[in-house]
Amino acid sequence: MSTDKAQLRAAALSRRAGLSAAAQAAAADALARAVRPLARGRVAAYASVGTEPGTAALLAALDGVLLPVLLPGGELDWAVYEGTLVPGPRGTLEPAGVRLGPDAVAGCAVVVVPALAVDRAGVRLGRGGGSYDRALARTGAYVVAALHSGELVGSLPVEPHDRLVHAAVLPDRGLVELRVHDAGAIGR
């Protein structure tokens, strides 16, 4: 199944490479508009890089948002975003603040995750490292995937460790609730 996922990742990244600046701006705007009303408690998000749906407007609109810090081995630590980002491993950007530990995500009401695609059952296709699957296992938060148009698909391959997302944000559709029965691991 990982071969199928690798091919899907490559195709998604190829499509994203052709996105216009206007398409990228629309995804960033939709994400900020959709998530702000959900932020009734602590929010965890990410600092976008490359062709990921932009998070700068969202981060500017939220106070006390947690951002991930990629640790050796792929685990995610968390720190409060205070306006400064520094280069992290594998081309990531991370907050410069005090590290709160991998369990800090447990206190979040909403977690915004990057994704290359999501299906209607809440299965998320990420970059393949499993970092977010491990982090999402620590929280019962409402999980929202940030997507570009066309990245909400009918179905994706799923593995027992995959964690489901509750909703996706698309520039042409806004927040789309998914048919998730249990946002836990698939193989439970």
pLDDT in tens, 66-78: 999 999 998 999 9
Of 51, 49, 85, which Cα lies nearest the Cα of 65?
85
Q: Could you tell me which residues are beta bridge partners of residue 44?
A: 66, 111
Of 54, 76, 168, which Cα lies nearest the Cα of 129?
76
* Helix, strand, coil tally for the chain in percent (to 5): 30, 25, 45
Q: Where residue 3 falls among pLDDT bands split at 50, 70, 90?
A: low
- Domains of the chain in start order, with CATH, are 2-177 (3.40.50.10420)
Distance CA(28)–CA(55), nearest Å, equals 6
- Does pLDDT of 28 surpass 70? yes
Predicted model pTM: 0.91
